[in-house]
Structure 1
């Protein structure tokens, strides 16, 4: 129960709210490209084919990455399972950094004079995701509602156990 409570625990922190919503806003279009075909993306089938046939990523891992990029930002908007969503996004963006961007160096391709994008964007996204994992969802997160309910449930159970012990004596 303690682990479950720590998963949802958060504070009324405005900074965590800004990080959570910023991460969601930047990542959602990437997930929508892959899953829905929005913003010039290939949609679910096209992305799965690219991941599995061209990049040779096992289908379950490709689906998990797409889920993290699409459902993760939606969860972050609501502050629901913020740490889990941020971890999924952070892990996915870190894998992309090492496999796709790192060979292109550090800097983004601002002037179109290198083969692809560097890792600076990926590092920023991973650091923001890590901050949300550490701090939680912050202000207006549904996680705080769940955490309070878990706390109440624990208090009620503890009270009932004390009553049972007292009656047994």
Structure 2
């Protein structure tokens, strides 16, 4: 079980780290800050550069948290919230849920993976496990049903807030 959780943390952490670098730095065949800023603005996320930086920093911090298994619910919440926003924004822009039509399918899957980690916790091979050995009273805050549900609510609220912003800032003539 713990091996599976470790693999999930590593996969999601690496995907988020690369995703952040693509967006902000142009690494890994990414578009970089300037081009992504224009794309964000077209989606209604303005001003573009600060929004790209906010998304990239959030994804990078979530990635580090998940890779280390340190304060995993916070990393999971950042991952789930950011990816829920990305999924909803993509779906709204494309008019489709499906990734083949440039919809939100893939970011939604990443958001759900973050939520899963909030429910399971980081597992035995993590800094959270060491933390709970030293401070057993921290255990209830590092995973479980209540933590997972809190992350679901937080991700949903962040997506709702950003969607409201996007809908209010969409260029004239663009479908809603």
- Identify which range, 46-55 or 62-71, moves more after superposition: 46-55
Aligned residues: 136
* Alignment match of 2:3 (pick from 14, 18, 37): 14
Superposed CA offset, 1:111-142 (max 9, x none): xxxxx412221221111110011111113111
Taking a change above 3 Å as real, the CA distance of residues 33 and 135 of structure 1, as seen in their structure-2 partners, is same
Whole-angstrom distance in 2 between the partners of 1:120 and 1:47: 20
* Alignment match of 1:142 (pick from 119, 127, 140): 127
2:28 aligned with 1:39: yes
Q: What's the CA shift for 1:31?
A: 0.8
Whole-angstrom distance in 1 between the partners of 2:104 and 2:137: 44
Whole-angstrom distance in 2 between the partners of 1:101 and 1:108: 9
Whole-angstrom distance in 2 between the partners of 1:25 and 1:68: 14
Whole-angstrom distance in 2 between the partners of 1:120 and 1:76: 22
- The higher relative CO (CA closer than 8 Å, separation ≥ 6) is in 1
Find the counterpart in structure 1 of residue 96 from structure 2: 105
Q: What's the CA shift for 1:94?
A: 0.5
Whole-angstrom distance in 2 between the partners of 1:42 and 1:123: 21
TM-score by length of 2: 0.63
Unaligned runs of 5+ in 1: 1-11, 110-115, 154-169
